[in-house]
A and B are shown apart, each in its own frame.
Chain A
Amino acid sequence: MDYLYTEYYLVVDLATGEAEEVELEEEFVQENVGGAKLNMALYEEHKDGDPVVLGTGPFTSTLVPGGCLGVITAKSPVTGNVAHAPITWNAGAELKLSGYSFVVIKNKADNPTYLWLHDEIADFVDASALWGKDVWETVDVIRDEQGEDRIQLLSIGKAGENKLSTAQIMNNYWGDGDRFGFGALFGEKNLKAVAVRGMGELDIDDAEAFIEKTEELLGKVKSALPGKSGLDAIDFADIPDDAKAALKSQLHRVEADFNNPFAYKFFLKYREDPSVMKSTDVEEPGVLISDPMGLAALLKAGVPADAVGEVFEKAFKLGLNPAAVASKLSGKDKDAALAELDSLAESSEAEKFEATFSPFAPSSDRMEAAYIAGICPVLASKVEALNAEMFAELMSIGTGMDFDADAFKM
């Protein structure tokens, strides 16, 4: 594919230790567009290998506002069906720039392994020494081992290693939108992590027109956003007012996903004065609230607001999905909740639910199109202009091919 995507996608067979580069044909993109839709086509093609498909949309890693999204597609241990979870933050963008817009990971490795994708190279790396390490240690070790602190990681902790449906695939140190127990699939495959970093470049067919349209769209996005960020902006998560007040005493800075104008993520500092802006020798001062609906679930279960940051951190280190384990923490104080998480990482089961797209972001009629386009679903829920018609117009300009709004439907 000449435009907006990389030339190849990758099919990884963990059983044989082989990775095959496959040309991403124009016809395949014309038919399946990208993101969750193209992932689904790859899933069907390789379903005998119980694949986990990592993919990007046409606008991932571009200047289209919200163009951060990668998508994980696999058969969910929670729902029993094929489902799609978001990759927010920077990993989706970095995946595409590593040289592979899509990666199909099938079968099971004989020994713990991590995949290191960089500059159109796929390395299988022995992860025996990482098995048993928590998520934060895993991130630090792999970044140190590969010598780059901008490496983005999708990894599992103890919960994933134990193949629990409450496990999630983590995004660097933080939880992301995997409500489907995909962390258990990494555990089943003996796959500790996928690390991505790249110096790739994406071409655009009519670059001038694409930038003009994108800048016009950015104006609409900025107008539609509430002018708030972080804790004040997460009206889609049901956070009680008294909890908000308590959380504000720990509040540090807000952060955004890659090229996402909507900074809905925020950092709680509880091992250091949150007003401290310098980098100090406190190595782990707090936690990024990357999953506001997970936060709401913990608060609803009764986790005290002044302890919820530490509970989040512990769940993230263990690779547990906070929303899936929240009810198990009901009525527990901080110490009891932290202790309970240790046992939940050994044995727990997520409550069943029906969904195709992760209930991590607020539901909207633009969610499906966003998952195909590679646009943050949280941002898309806020901005009407981020719709299938707009995506079709932009993709036609960017690729020189013809797409209509129906292309951005599953």
Chain B
Amino acid sequence: MAIKVDPEKCINCGACELGCSFYRDEVFTTMSASVMMYREEKKNYFGIMLKREDDMILGRPEGVEIQKEGEESDSDAGASAKPILLREPCDNCKNAMCVRFCPTGSLIEVD
């Protein structure tokens, strides 16, 4: 089981952050999720970052990029990614809460 990101559907609500954090700690917070929103607010530029065991998915408005560990991104999303580097990677849980609570289908589970 893995998570697929469709950034075009993202509305930047952050329900995935709450859902993943709840899965980990059974509390409401945004701080322990493996998935994180990023936003350049004045530019309406936003998307989703998902930290995995060996890489990170950058779900940017212009498309999805897989960033390998240690690689730099040429986008500002790379700079925004720093806080997520300290977090636990996605453990590919089944029936993932980030997917269940995403209201738009921007995150889906795939085999």
Contacts and interface: CB of A to CB of B under 8 A. Distances in A.
A295 interface: no
B88 interface: no
B11 A229 contact: yes
Interface in B32-90: 39-46, 61-62, 75-76, 80
Contacts, number: 99
Contact of A279 (B14, B26, B43): B43
B44 A253 contact: yes
B29 A257 contact: no
Given A136-B42, A277-B62, A202 B29 contact: yes
A207 B27 CA distance: 8
B44 A255 contact: yes
B45 to A, nearest CB: 4
Nearest to B28: A202
Nearest to A202: B28
A24 interface: no
A61 B12 contact: no
Interface residues of B, number: 33
Contacts of A173: 41-42
Of the listed residues B25, B27, B40, B45, the one surrounded by the most CB atoms of chain A closer than 10 A to its CB is B45
A63 B42 contact: no
B39 to A, nearest CB: 8
B19 A63 contact: yes
A218 B104 CA distance: 11
B61 A63 contact: no
Given A149-B80, A269-B44, A258 B13 contact: yes
Contact of B44 (A61, A215, A283, A286): A286
Interface stretch (A181-189, A260-268, A335-343): A260-268
- Decide if the interface of chain B is mainly helix, strand, loop or mixed: mixed
A11 B111 CA distance: 52
Interface residues of A, number: 47
A199 B28 contact: no
A24 to B, nearest CB: 16
A362 interface: no
B101 A218 contact: yes
Contacts of B27: 201-204
B109 to A, nearest CB: 15
Contact of B11 (A90, A255, A269): A255
A254 B11 contact: yes
Interface in A80-129: 90, 97
A253 B101 contact: no
A368 B42 CA distance: 32
A45 to B, nearest CB: 27
Contact of A218 (B25, B41, B103): B103
Closest 9 A-B residue pairs measured CB to CB? A261-B103, A267-B44, A256-B11, A263-B11, A201-B27, A202-B28, A277-B61, A256-B13, A277-B62
Given A259-B15, A284-B42, 16 more contacts: A61-B28, A63-B15, A149-B80, A172-B41, A199-B29, A204-B26, A204-B27, A218-B103, A255-B12, A256-B13, A259-B18, A261-B13, A277-B61, A279-B45, A285-B44, A286-B44
29 contacts: A62-B28, A136-B42, A149-B39, A149-B41, A150-B39, A199-B31, A201-B27, A202-B27, A203-B27, A204-B26, A204-B27, A211-B97, A218-B101, A218-B103, A221-B103, A222-B103, A253-B61, A259-B14, A261-B15, A261-B103, A261-B104, A263-B11, A263-B104, A277-B45, A277-B61, A277-B62, A278-B61, A279-B43, A282-B43
Interface of B: 11-15, 18-19, 22, 25-31, 39-46, 61-62, 75-76, 80, 97, 100-101, 103-104
